[in-house]
């Protein structure tokens, strides 16, 4: 992948998969600006501290980002062991607020990559709800909608990954036609990261035991980063509005 001359903003850049995306993007020639609530433990070309659950913090981060750039990777997120309200604020509302807030800074030909999950694969079952949330305007109205339509704690992670996939589908072509900006999702399966244990706790022993024989193994962060970097590159200039599984085939076993 060739990202020479591009400036890419990566959320969740300080660790995990976000950190692997940073490494590969920089090796591929990009200048990378990290955005995270934690201080970076990786070499970056710039860093902005931000809490993606707080719209004021997001707005301050947007003001600190470059005037123009070429890509945005929304890799930050919290696991489903966090309170449902926080999962919604960070994994969906904050991601949307940031993305919508920088759309006029992304150059024509830019790429946005959102991190969904294999756990978002049942979005069709709640499509009407996800489309209604996608139509809501802004962070505050999104909070109000969720207060009126509460999401159960035990399925909140899956729910907001489903919602993210539907929002990406709904919004991608509009931005591609109007701004020549592409937006896609990737959907990793289980990955060896510092929060893998949280996902085991969240899913429960029965689901983990059911999935284990379907998988060769959990993935590594450096196996997730290359498809993301490809979607950022000009080689993917005609790929828009997709949800790309990066799960070692796990999703295919449920068909």
Point out the residues that are catalytic: 157
Q: Is residue 97 within a helix (H) or strand (E), and if so which, with residue range?
A: helix 95-102
Non-local CB neighbours of 244 within 8 Å, separated by 6+ positions:
184, 185, 186, 187, 227, 231
Distances (CA, A) of 185 to 52, 63, 206, 241: 18, 25, 28, 8
CA gap 232, 3 in Å, rounded = 8
Asked if 87 and 154 touch (Cβ cutoff 8 Å), the reply is no
> Strands (DSSP E) along the chain, which ranges?
7-11, 31-36, 46-49, 69-74, 106-115, 182-188, 191-192, 219-220, 243-246
Nearest to residue 9, comparing CAs of 25, 1, 20? 25
Distances (CA, A) of 81 to 22, 140, 218, 222: 26, 23, 19, 25
Instruction: State CA 46 to chain mean position distance.
Output: 20
Other beta carbons within 10 angstroms of residue 48's beta carbon come to 19
């Amino acid at each position: 992948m060739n990202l020479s001359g591009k400036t890419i903003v990566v959320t969740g850049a300080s660790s995990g998969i976000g950190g692997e995306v940073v490494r590969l993007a920089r090796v591929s020639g990009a200048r990378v600006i990290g955005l995270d609530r934690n201080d970076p433990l990786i070499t970056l070309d710039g860093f902005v501290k931000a809490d993606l659950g707080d719209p004021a913090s997001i707005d301050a981060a947007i003001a600190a980002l470059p005037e123009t750039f070429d890509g945005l990777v929304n890799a930050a997120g919290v696991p489903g062991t966090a309170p449902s309200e926080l999962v919604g604020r960070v994994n969906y509302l904050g991601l949307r607020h940031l993305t919508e807030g920088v759309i006029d800074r992304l150059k024509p030909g830019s790429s946005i990559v959102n991190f969904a999950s294999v756990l978002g694969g049942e979005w069709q079952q709640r499509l009407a709800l996800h489309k209604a949330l996608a139509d809501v305007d802004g962070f505050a109205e999104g909070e109000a909608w969720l207060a009126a339509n509460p999401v159960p704690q035990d399925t909140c992670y899956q729910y907001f990954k489903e919602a993210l996939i539907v929002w990406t589908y709904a919004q991608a072509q509009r931005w591609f036609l109007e701004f020549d900006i592409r937006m896609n999702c990737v959907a990793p399966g289980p990955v060896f990261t510092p929060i893998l244990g949280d996902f085991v706790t969240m899913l429960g022993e029965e689901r983990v035991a059911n999935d284990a024989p379907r998988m060769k193994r959990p993935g590594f962060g450096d196996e997730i980063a290359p498809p993301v970097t490809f979607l950022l590159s000009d080689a993917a200039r005609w790929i828009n509005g997709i949800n790309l599984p990066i799960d070692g085939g796990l999703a295919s076993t449920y068909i």
